[in-house]
A = this chain, B = another copy of it.
Amino acid sequence: MDQLRFDGRVAIVTGAGGGLGKEYALLLASRGAKVVVNDLGGGRDGSGRSNFADAVVKQIKDNGGVAVADYNSVVEGEKIVKTAMDNFGRVDMLINNAGILRDKSFGKMAEQDWDLIHAVHLKGAFKTTQAAWEIFRKQKYGRVVMTSSNSGIFGNFGQANYSAAKLGLVGLANTLAIEGAKYNVKVNTIVPTAASRLTEDILPPEMFKAMQPNLIAPVVAYMVHESFEDNGIIIDSALGFATKTHFVRGEGTPVRAKPEDAVTIESVKAKWPQVVDMSKAKHLDKNAEVTVDLVEKLQDFEERAKLDKGNKASYWSTYDYNAKDLTLYALGIGASVSNESDLKFLYESHENFSPLPTYFILPGMSMESPIVQQSMPPGKHADFTNILHGEQYIEFLGDLPGTEGEFTTRSYVAEVLDKGSAAVAIVNSEIYQNRNLVYRTQQHIFVLGQGGFGGPRNSSIATEVRPVPKRNPDAVVEQRTAEDQAALYRLSGDLNPLHIDPQVASISGHAKPILHGLASLGFSARHVLATFGGNDPANFKALKARFMKPVTPGQTLVTEMWREGSRVHFQTKTKETGNVVIGGAYVDLKQVSPVKANRVSASGLKSDGLFAKIIEEVNKNQAMAKSINGIFLYNITENGKTVKQWTLDLKTPAVYEGPLKEGKPDVTLTVTDGDLVEIASGALSPQVAYMKGKLKLAGNIMLAQKLGPLLKSEAKL
């Protein structure tokens, strides 16, 4: 790296007679800056006078540098700035470093101990920075560093005055960073821990010796360099380490149960665990983001309350999934590389990588939620020992969700039926993505032995199973489940020991652990999709099924299918017993026709700018581009969907948006918008991206390898 220089720049360093300030002054001067070496007091408490500044100036001059001493107090900061202007005609950098201590336990702290600390640290920084501010604005350049302290960030016994002043400086820097931004005036904060006049008899001697100011000075020097880009950040530095620190906010919570409730001290206390829960804390950059966040949460709170009107309370949960979850699930329900057309469910870099539609039943599962228990009539109870998953429905409202994403699920018990011996809770789930309802599911949860409460026997709102036609099935698919099918399927989330623990299975009356009903259903839905839906998940609209009997892993599933228009009725038997294990089931398919590609708005892609640069570079360096002699198609993805394509035709050469105008690409690269930008910036190596499946390559991979050096070049392809 070239030396970072400050030639032609003028720096003011306050409190530069010793310690950190002296190191700052020496370092900046050694790199070409003209330095105003300001120092006032000699003692840690601000008492006495010194000629320390002269000594520092002499040392700078002896080393061939340029500096001038200044003995003004920072509370008359305008005089310090005048020293700079009188001597050097400009100011570019200001390091507010002057400081003193007046430690006392709070009860004993004299008013003047408070006032003096606040004058030197806080008002001194205000006055000196303000005196330089108009100069910075006019010249559209300035670098300011405030000096804070971990005593402010964490508090420190005996430093009520100092901790208040030191964190006050962070508040000042926060506002100045905003006000200075458009004038290229950057205001940042250093939190140094160093051996200095302030710490010399506080730190243990060993530590004091190690905490050399010269280990911090280069950090601060970088923070006032022209090339420094951060603004309004806090950097903690000591012992040759540096660490950023900033505020984060928890998710927060309404402090009442419903929007129409009053907020009371009791409702606040009831919600307090969520108020102080920092497990999903995040940093926000601006106060405006707090407002937006709050307004969104308020809307959610009100909308969710509206949904609950007339129903039992909803249960809200979130669900994340990614490509690995989908492939693990696909193996769990018997997709196999031995069927070529299944590869797209098993290989995340496949050009048509897709979720199996029944995967999306999982985010709607609410067996673990308290709602079924809460819905029981008086005297009846439901817990994990007496509930069974009886029926399942799923219906997509539009396109199938992508290959990764996050859902928010609302589940509620719509109705509790009385089937005599058993109660049946009809649980509806609505699954949202980015606040849009994308699909819904319905479960019938049988609660054994809890019927007979005089409730309705039949439902008006449940989606019902349909009897299969009486004719012979139009198609039959057989597939053996593996001995380890349940052991594998359970890794998709349902860890109920009934499916793996022989002892638990035995207590529940089974000879062996049984396969999950949803696993058998997944097999059959796959059979239907492959037989009548072109094995294209985009054709899948809805599914309904009843679980009749358990399946033992290792048994062969026989899916019998009847097509009636766009509905495929099916039932599933185990070959070994002839029992119907899934009955009254159907899949509704969409029109069997070419499915439109799922496209979302591609505006605001970060990679757009990248390709703009590539176009520029290729135009400039046509020979280099041609030497690669390949045609590359980029699929830019977001949330698992291709949102834009770019063709990089290095044969012509030509670069344009959209697929290749004619012929086939040599290599297809599929990568998320974010990852591509990371690769181009060098933050992510293309090799690592490829190995991790973040960069997917199809076609002539060796040619992609040739693109490697280019990816790392200035051209950032």
A294 pairs with B241, CB closer than 8 A: yes
Beyond A107-B137, A241-B252, is A179–B167 a contact (Cβ under 8 Å)?
no
Closest to A508 in B: B701
Beyond A107-B137, A244-B276, A252-B242, is A336–B483 a contact (Cβ under 8 Å)?
yes
A599 to chain B, nearest CB (A): 26
One digit per residue, 1 when the CB lies within 8 angstroms of any chain B CB and 0 when it does not, for chain A 1-34 equals 1011000000000000000000000010001000
Stretch touching chain B among A390-398, A424-432, A685-693: A685-693
A275 CB contacts on chain B under 8 angstroms: 235, 242-244
The size class of the interface chain A forms with chain B is 35 or more
Closest to A297 in B: B241
Closest to A553 in B: B337
Q: Does A545 reach chain B (CB closer than 8 Å)?
A: no
Closest to A203 in B: B291
Partner of A168, one of B165, B286, B496, B691: B165
Of the candidates A218, A265, A346, A484, the one having the most CB atoms from chain B within 10 angstroms of its own CB is: A265
Interface residues of A in 223-268 (CB under 8 A from B): 225, 227, 230, 232-233, 235-256, 259, 263-268
A106 pairs with B337, CB closer than 8 A: no
B179 pairs with A171, CB closer than 8 A: no
Complex Cα distance, B111 from A153, in Å, reads: 27
Complex Cα distance, B290 from A131, in Å, reads: 35
A346 CB contacts on chain B under 8 angstroms: 484, 487, 500
Partner of A507, one of B174, B218, B701: B701
Beyond A255-B240, A276-B244, is A263–B175 a contact (Cβ under 8 Å)?
no
Closest to A383 in B: B687
Closest to A255 in B: B242
A155 pairs with B232, CB closer than 8 A: yes
A31 CB contacts on chain B under 8 angstroms: 265
Q: Does A272 reach chain B (CB closer than 8 Å)?
A: yes
A265 pairs with B218, CB closer than 8 A: yes
Beyond A130-B106, A218-B255, is A230–B367 a contact (Cβ under 8 Å)?
no
Closest to A369 in B: B688
Complex Cα distance, B86 from A206, in Å, reads: 53
Partner of A265, one of B221, B233, B268: B221
A266 CB contacts on chain B under 8 angstroms: 1, 3-4
A218 CB contacts on chain B under 8 angstroms: 255, 263-265, 267-268
Q: Does A705 reach chain B (CB closer than 8 Å)?
A: yes
Partner of A164, one of B106, B122, B133: B122
Partner of A105, one of B179, B268, B384: B179
One digit per residue, 1 when the CB lies within 8 angstroms of any chain B CB and 0 when it does not, for chain A 191-219 equals 00000000000000000000000110011
A272 to chain B, nearest CB (A): 7
Q: Does A363 reach chain B (CB closer than 8 Å)?
A: no
B241 pairs with A249, CB closer than 8 A: no
A324 CB contacts on chain B under 8 angstroms: 491
A172 pairs with B176, CB closer than 8 A: no
Closest to A493 in B: B692
B156 pairs with A175, CB closer than 8 A: yes
Complex Cα distance, B337 from A553, in Å, reads: 10
One digit per residue, 1 when the CB lies within 8 angstroms of any chain B CB and 0 when it does not, for chain A 492-528 equals 0001110011111001000001000000000000000
Q: Does A482 reach chain B (CB closer than 8 Å)?
A: yes
B244 pairs with A298, CB closer than 8 A: no
Interface residues of A in 133-158 (CB under 8 A from B): 133-134, 137, 150-158
Complex Cα distance, B513 from A349, in Å, reads: 14
Partner of A233, one of B115, B222, B276, B553: B276
A193 to chain B, nearest CB (A): 8
Q: Does A292 reach chain B (CB closer than 8 Å)?
A: no
B236 pairs with A244, CB closer than 8 A: no
A383 to chain B, nearest CB (A): 6
A701 CB contacts on chain B under 8 angstroms: 385, 504, 507
Closest to A367 in B: B691
A322 to chain B, nearest CB (A): 12
A484 pairs with B246, CB closer than 8 A: no
Q: Does A475 reach chain B (CB closer than 8 Å)?
A: no
B154 pairs with A503, CB closer than 8 A: no
Complex Cα distance, B294 from A660, in Å, reads: 54
A246 CB contacts on chain B under 8 angstroms: 247-248, 278, 281
Q: Does A159 reach chain B (CB closer than 8 Å)?
A: yes
Q: Could you show 19 A-B contacts with beta carbons less than 8 Å apart?
A: A1-B266, A106-B179, A126-B160, A155-B178, A166-B171, A214-B263, A230-B276, A241-B297, A242-B253, A242-B275, A244-B252, A244-B278, A245-B250, A247-B248, A248-B281, A343-B500, A347-B500, A383-B705, A497-B697
Closest 4 CB pairs of A and B: A167-B171, A155-B174, A243-B252, A168-B168
Q: A114-B123, A164-B175, A384-B690 are in contact. List 6 more A-B contacts (CB 8 A).
A: A218-B263, A219-B263, A242-B255, A337-B483, A337-B487, A347-B487
